[in-house]
Amino acid sequence: MPTANWNFDLVHSQIGFSVRHMMVSKTRGKFTKWNGTLEFDAARPENTKVAVEIDAASIDTNEPQRDAHLRSPDFFDVEKFPTLTFKSTKIERAGDDFRVTGDLTIHGVTKPVVLDAEFGGQVTDPYGNTRVGFAAKTAIDRKDYGLVWNMLLEAGGFAVADKIEITLEIEATQAKQQSAAA
């Protein structure tokens, strides 16, 4: 299959994260508003391109007070930095899977990251749409992006770990070709 344009199926996709809280458990969350572009070529992954823009204010950890704190200048400062972005710079095959290298921008800081991506396959749905799926993960140090707020715990350690694990579950449908007028 040559390179084709794909539309993210936002109902069946998720951008999530987890971070260790109080040194003993993980807090999980997701971003509920995002979109982007995907040009996918299964036969030649090096031709694939992906770009994603995330609404930083759409952060959802299932706790409104925490979400408000994460939107504040202590963390994402969504008034000043309303979006997080990712743009691929290199995609390569890694066995049956892929390594996606790209530029991640959070809080106005851009750093390269590598995502380990698993290709879930391709199917034709009951409506005749061609679908593909991917799962990907990476980890970043939040301090590299200027997210430095923390609180020292009386018993030792910090309230929020530096390491953020990012997970993506992506489903996309192949964009319909526009036929040329006769």
Taken in order of first residue, the domains within the chain and their CATH numbers are 4-174 (2.40.128.110)
The mean pLDDT value for 93-107 works out to 92
pLDDT at residue 146 in the model: 85
CA–CA gap between residue 88 and residue 36 (Å, rounded):
12
Helix, strand, coil % (nearest 5) of the chain? 10, 55, 30
Determine the length of the chain: 182
Predicted confidence (pLDDT) per residue in 27-68, tens digit: 889 999 999 999 988 788 889 999 999 999 999 999 999 899
Q: Whole-model pTM? A: 0.87
Cα 50 to Cα 40: distance, rounded to the nearest angstrom = 8
Convert the pLDDT of each residue in 114-170 to its tens digit. Answer: 999 999 988 999 999 899 999 999 999 888 998 776 655 566 555 577 788 999 999
Burial of 164 (0-12, 13-18, 19+ CB in 10 A): buried
> What's the rounded Cα separation, in Å, for the pair 118 and 163?
22
